[in-house]
């Protein structure tokens, strides 16, 4: 496709296993690409953009990823995932709202606009419950509160955080088997595969040491994952499902710049990076 075809890019400030795999997959196909580092990237509105026309967004920082995608799109580039998808899936409340609008099962979630409102809402939700930051990952600052005293203490810390956005409180019921979940990778509207993630603690993030094992695909897993990715507008997604009551699955979250190191170790026969490159090349060829 290149050098005469569209120019391709990988946007990433931090080249981890996943970004390296995507770059290696492009190299294997003999496809040239530009590594765009958001730390040195600037895009001028209205000016001609001389950079890549099709970009995979792998920036680790949510806000840099979001604004880089928006700026590149404004310059005429196609970004995977789109800025709109990153806007929705990078924020837990926007994700919950999108899942609900699509009629998908998701844990009961309440958005409280102040700590005081959150404490009042928790009386309705009941304990234990979960307080999560709107933005962030790897299970950081996700807190299980057992009673009113611990909730009040956590909310006092929340109030002390510097960002006004941090003061908006995202509350969720604690769902069934919280010690294990299912991570499903979706690329271009198709499921690549799924893993079970089990941890020693109630948060099952691989970044917290959870182990990934292959999870057989069922119609329910495939259907929920594809619909959840579509609900947030993500072409590339890591959909987290969790078992709720009576073994029914519910959608916990959708990750738009999905990490797949753990998935890949559980599924050595599948190649997520290759699938992402397939999608990028098909979009560029369309």
Partner 1 sequence: MSKTVLAAECPECAADVGLDADARVSEIVECVECRSELEIESVDPPTLVRAPEVEEDWGE
Which positions touch partner 1 (CB under 8 A)? 12-16, 20, 23-24, 35, 37, 60-63, 90, 133, 135-138, 140, 163, 207, 238, 255-259
For partner 1, the closer CB: 125 or 267: 267
With beta carbons less than 8 A apart as the criterion, state whether 185 and 263 touch.
yes
Q: How far is the CB of 159 from partner 1 (least distance, A)?
A: 16
Nearest residue to 279 (alpha-carbon basis) of 42, 54, 44, 19? 54
Strands 78-80 and 34-36, sheet pairing:
unpaired
CB of 267 to partner 1, least distance (A): 18
Residue 109 has which token pair?
Answer: 């979630």
Phi-psi region of 37 (alpha: psi -120 to 50; beta: other; left: phi over 0): beta
Nearer to partner 1 by Cβ, of 88 and 122: the residue is 88
- In angstroms, what is the minimal distance from the CB of 39 to partner 1? 8
> Using CB atoms within 10 A of its CB, is residue 167 exposed (0-12), middle (13-18) or buried (19+)?
middle
Our CB check for partner 1 shows the closer of 140 and 148 to be 140
Distance CA 197, CA 195 (A): 6
Which tokens hold the place of 245? 């009551």
Q: What angle do CA 228, 211, 275 make, to 5 degrees?
A: 50
Q: 15 or 84: whose CB is closer to partner 1?
A: 15
- Closest approach, Cβ 86 to partner 1, in A, equals 11
128/136 with CB nearer partner 1: 136
Rounded CA gap, 98 and 102, in Å?
6
Count of alpha carbons within 13 angstroms of residue 145, beta-carbon side: 26
Continuous segment of H or E residues that includes residue 190: strand 190-198
Smallest gap from Cβ 224 to partner 1, in A, equals 18
Q: Closest CB to partner 1 among 135 and 192?
A: 135
To the nearest whole angstrom, how small is the minimum distance from the Cβ of residue 257 to partner 1? 6
Shortest distance (Å) from residue 65 CB to partner 1: 9
Tell the smallest beta-carbon distance from residue 258 to partner 1 (Å): 6
Q: Are 256 and 232 in contact (CB under 8 A)?
A: yes
2-7: long-range contacts at Cβ-Cβ below 8 A with a sequence spacing of 24 or more? 2/31, 2/32, 3/32, 5/284, 5/285, 6/52, 6/53, 6/54, 6/284, 7/32, 7/33, 7/34, 7/51, 7/52, 7/53, 7/54
Looking at beta carbons only, is 77 or 258 nearer to partner 1?
Answer: 258
Residue whose CB is less far from partner 1, 221 or 237: 237
């Amino acid at each position: 496709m290149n050098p005469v075809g569209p120019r391709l890019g990988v946007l990433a400030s931090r080249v981890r296993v996943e970004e390296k795999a995507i770059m290696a997959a492009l190299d294997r196909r003999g496809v040239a690409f530009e590594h765009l580092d958001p730390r040195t990237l600037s895009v001028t509105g209205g000016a001609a953009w001389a950079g890549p026309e099709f970009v995979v967004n792998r920036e680790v920082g949510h806000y840099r990823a979001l604004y880089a995608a928006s700026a590149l799109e404004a310059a005429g580039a196609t970004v995977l995932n789109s800025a709109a998808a990153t806007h929705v899936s990078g924020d837990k409340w926007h994700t919950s709202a999108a899942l609900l609008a699509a009629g998908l099962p998701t844990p009961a979630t309440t958005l409280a606009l102040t700590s005081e409102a959150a404490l009042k809402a928790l009386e309705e939700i009941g304990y234990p419950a979960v307080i999560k930051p709107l933005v962030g990952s790897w299970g950081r600052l996700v807190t299980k509160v057992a009673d009113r005293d611990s909730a009040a203490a956590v909310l006092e810390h929340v109030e002390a955080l510097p960002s006004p956005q941090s003061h908006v409180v995202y509350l969720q019921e604690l769902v069934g088997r919280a010690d294990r979940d299912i991570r499903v990778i979706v690329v271009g509207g198709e499921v690549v595969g799924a893993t079970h993630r089990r941890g020693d603690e109630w948060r099952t993030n691989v970044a917290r040491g959870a182990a990934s094992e292959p999870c057989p695909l069922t119609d329910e897993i495939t259907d929920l994952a594809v619909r959840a990715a579509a609900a947030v507008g993500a072409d590339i997604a890591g959909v987290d499902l969790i078992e709720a009551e009576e073994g029914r699955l519910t959608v916990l979250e959708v990750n738009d710049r999905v990490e797949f190191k753990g998935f890949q170790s559980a599924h050595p026969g599948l190649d997520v990076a290759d699938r992402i490159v397939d999608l990028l090349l098909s979009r560029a060829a369309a």
